[in-house]
Structure 1
Amino acid sequence: MNTEQLERMQKGKGFIAALDQSGGSTPKALKAYGIDETEYHGDKEMFDLVHEMRTRIIKNPAFSADRILAAILFENTMDRKIDGEYTADYLWEKKHIVPFLKIDRGLEEEKRHVRLMKPIPALDETLEHAIGERHIFGTKERSVILDYDEQGIRDIVEQQFELGLRVFSHGLVPILEPEVDIHSPKKAESERFLKECIQERLKKLEPSVRLMLKLTIPTEDNLYEELMADPHVVRIVALSGGYSREKADELLAGNRGLIASFSRALSEGLRKQQTEEEFSASLRTAVDAIYEASIS
């Protein structure tokens, strides 16, 4: 584990940029960027285009370490290069931004009002490749809570911690992401019970274990402050969850110590057709707004 990167994640001011759209969400991301599905054919062309988009974001002066602590990458992005360097190396060496890797492979069908993660093939090989050859600091893994169901929420937490411990055993810091759907009829109740389950599980960890949590911005402001104080928890970050950037920033600002890990909200307003000046201005507006909400 890179101790300089760990220190940055624990104490740095800023937020995490989520650049980890996977195969299923990439067409939507490209369309929002101004590239229609008729403009590419097959996965190779699609991934080439989304890497061009991510490269444009990462290389932009607005995407800088004074605002952005880390970036989460899709596996395909991890194995691609920017200016001759693998993406994670470029992020850290050129930008001083900590690289994370999305490792989940999608969600199971709904059961007990939750969607668990699908099995992750060749996980150990992926983790060794990530830390040994691509110099990744940590991982991110997402599952979803759709409504209040105590057994379902316990299942989610158990799966997240089991995977997180496996990730940590390889020397990587996991970001556990048990998302609560913002449209859940009992969002607040689900969040409170989720917090209880996480607290129970944290008590069982060995003292050396370090992890992060990526959670939906809670209905009750500052709900997760107690979790932030746990010595196992490096940082708690928030997902935008379908809110507009403006709404996500507003809600985030009401939660002390909670920082953003936004994807769609970060790229909102960016278009392929923009000039570099227009693109930079749009990205700077997003970065500055998310940063201010994250340090409130």
Structure 2
Amino acid sequence: MKIGVIGTGNMGRMLIEAWIEARAVAEQDIVITNRTMKKALDIQHTYPQIEVVANPEEVIQRTNIVFLCIKPLDIHPLLIQLAPYWTAEHCLVSITSPIAVEQIESVVPCHVARVIPSITNRALSGSSLITFGHRCAAYYRSYIERLFQTISTPVFIDQDITRIASDIASCGPAFFSYLLQRFIDAAVQKTNISKEMATELASDMIIGVGELLKKKMYTLPTLQEKVCVKGGITGEGIAVLEAEVGEMFAHVFEKTNAKFVEEVKKVHNQFH
């Protein structure tokens, strides 16, 4: 199976690197292109057997499955531009959340799927969110599921939870990286610990928490219970969090959903 990637920015590059590291796809079976060709050539410099082509048309002509790793509002114009090149045998995979698989199916003749990856997939970890179109054949469904099993835990989602699932699995690493950085900054500001040591300790801590959850040694509530001794120091810290976090995450989801709705409307106007 030959895989094409149109768009080699952060997520496109991440997928390529993860697949190769997991030995899910051989370098010579990947064909890529990017609007800024230097980004594609940089990937080829690291993986010399990857084929870089000049335009999206060549990607389609040389591959079976094509991943569109571009901005939501760039997808419809590109699909129309490439209309003469899609065939019923191709499988088109979008990685963007505001565009439903049914919308893409309405303008192309091929099999369609959507896979929303997470940056955690680069470490062959985390979830990937999969939705198949009605026309997507069983052999493509099976291949895509196996492909993402090598770098993640595939989770199949319906359209109605696309945004919140993406917030948790795909946006979550950025949200919690920000919180962890603020945690570190406060430690440095309020004590004599160096930023380097605080960063090392906090990073080791978050990795350790992940391992505890991965090995199912604790749930999130029981983990808090085990660390938080009644009347102890951790309890005082939890009391501050309970008082000050409040509706913060509800506001985060409200904001991301508002932006999602805005993009969905723009995409709807393009497809109609």
With normalisation by structure 2, the TM-score equals 0.30
Asked which structure has the greater CA Rg, the reply is 2
Higher relative contact order (CA 8 A, sep 6+): 1
Name the structure where strand makes up a greater proportion of residues. 1
Name the structure where helix makes up a greater proportion of residues. 2
